[in-house]
Each structure stands twice: as structure tokens, then as C-alpha cells.
């Protein structure tokens, strides 16, 4: 489940051995990063990291090519913030 996402905000990063999906979280201004770490064929190991990014609604999210960093901006439009997708720092 996500918060109201009228702009269809989503970001996806794929590598041969892992995939990261970033979507708005249920809480306004938060992002949910889902790390899919390729398991055996037909299985999927995943880890979900929730990141508090902004106090207001998200306007844009973008993952780096390898999925290790996410950039976020809010509808307020005053800051772009960068976070490590594994540690939320």
C-alpha cells in the first residue's frame, strides 16, 4: 500500500543479481525501497527499507543506476535529498 500517488511516482533500478524498487510509503513524505536479491530461480529474497525523506508529499524520486542511492524532492520544492537505500542514512 502507498499514500495517494496521483503522479505515479516510482523508480526502478535493475542489475543482473539484484533489483531495487522505490515507491511512496503509506506515510506522507516517506519512501519504501524494496531490495530484491535474486534468489534461486522462482524465488525472491527481499528486504524493505522505509526512509523518512520530507515533511510534505513527494514530487519526485530517482534511484541511482545500481540502486544504492535515492534522490527525493517534495512538492514544496526547496530541497533535493540523497539517501543510502540500504541503511536509510
Backbone angles phi, psi at 82, to 5 degrees: -115, 140
pLDDT of residue 6: 79
Mean pLDDT of 2-25: 88
Tens digit of pLDDT for each residue in 19-74?
Answer: 999 999 999 999 999 999 866 666 668 999 999 999 999 999 999 999 999 999 99
Distance CA 71, CA 23 (A): 12
pTM here is 0.86
Range with the lowest mean pLDDT among 3-7, 66-70, 74-78?
3-7
Task: Please report, for the chain, the start and end positions of each structural domain, with discontinuous segments joined by +.
Answer: 11-84
Amino acid at each position: 500500500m502507498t499514500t495517494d500517488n496521483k503522479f505515479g511516482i516510482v523508480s526502478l533500478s535493475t542489475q543482473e543479481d539484484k533489483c531495487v524498487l522505490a515507491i511512496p510509503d503509506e506515510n506522507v513524505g516517506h519512501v519504501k525501497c524494496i531490495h530484491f536479491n535474486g534468489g534461486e530461480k522462482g524465488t525472491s529474497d527481499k528486504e524493505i527499507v522505509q526512509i523518512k525523506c520530507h515533511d510534505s508529499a513527494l514530487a519526485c524520486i530517482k534511484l541511482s543506476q545500481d540502486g544504492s542511492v535515492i534522490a527525493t524532492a517534495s512538492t514544496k520544492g526547496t530541497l533535493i535529498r540523497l539517501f543510502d537505500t540500504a541503511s536509510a542514512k
